[in-house]
Amino acid sequence: MTNSGAAAGDSAAVAMGPLPAAVATPLSSARAAVLAQLAEADGQPLRAQQIARALGQHVNTTREHLEGLVADNLAVATTEKPRGRGRPATLYRSLPGSPMWPIGRQYAALADVLVEQVLESVDNPQQAAFRAGQRWGRKLLEGVPEDSTPQEAVDRQLAEVGFAPERTASGEWHLHRCPLLAAARRHPEVVCNVHRGVVATMLEGLGEPSEVTVFPFSEPGACRITALPQPTFAQPTLVAGAPSPEGIPDEGSGPA
């Protein structure tokens, strides 16, 4: 999987998959994406050019967002050590205490511990994760308005959890943020199967049983979920690329 946080001087690849969960301070989506790149670098300073390449932005646009983050005390700018002739580059990093940090440090650490416990204590982590997602999905169903369509209900609950979902005309969901991003990168077979269980259970509980597949880190800036209407007896599909336990098919390519 692609890690969008590169050290200064490295060429930054286009980041696949969603951003961390949304910041508490109101920011435009473009500026939040820049802040997310800094947060994902884990304290390593980045050049504006690296972030611009990762996000597909013009470097001048990226610089404007970086300067705005510095002005808002969400990032700090320093000057790179001179390397011969030419003007030293400006480097940027996020600050501990910026809105991204509590999510990235505290909840990510808890998620990692829980995921490791699942991996060590059960024979079939993917199936256990899916069943945990089913339980979560049943809880989320309790807050669904009666007049919601299945798709609207899933949209609303995914948004409230922090996924910033976008539903396409073809019925897919693109998840642009992830509240458990660090754990999902390390163990998508667990984390993403929890999310799959949530969506599958909500759709079934609202009268639209579907074969749900999660494609982790499948495109720049998002993960993807598909939901194909199925009879109630259809087998669920594991997260794409995850090892397939007996009786549950595995489809699609693995995470980037």
* Domains of the chain, residue spans: 19-94, 105-229
Question: Which pLDDT does position 250 carry in this prediction?
Answer: 38
Question: Which pLDDT does position 165 carry in this prediction?
Answer: 85
What CATH number labels 105-229?
3.30.1380.20
Block means of pLDDT (10 residues each) for the chain, 256 residues, are 40 57 61 83 87 90 92 85 80 71 58 85 92 93 84 86 83 85 87 94 93 91 89 53 37 32
Residues 133 and 197: beta-carbon distance below 8 Å: yes
Question: Which pLDDT does position 232 carry in this prediction?
Answer: 54
What distance separates the 2 farthest-apart alpha carbons in the chain? 69
Spatial CB neighbours of 107, under 8 Å, sequence gap ≥ 6: 179, 180
Question: Which pLDDT does position 237 carry in this prediction?
Answer: 54
Q: What class does CATH assign to 19-94?
A: mainly alpha
Q: Which two tokens stand for residue 60?
A: 């001048």
Q: Which two tokens stand for residue 84?
A: 């011969």
Q: Within a 13 Å sphere around the CA of 180, how many CA atoms are in the beta-carbon half?
A: 19
Question: Which pLDDT does position 239 carry in this prediction?
Answer: 59
Question: Which pLDDT does position 231 carry in this prediction?
Answer: 64
Closest CA to 128 of 119, 140, 136, 116: 119
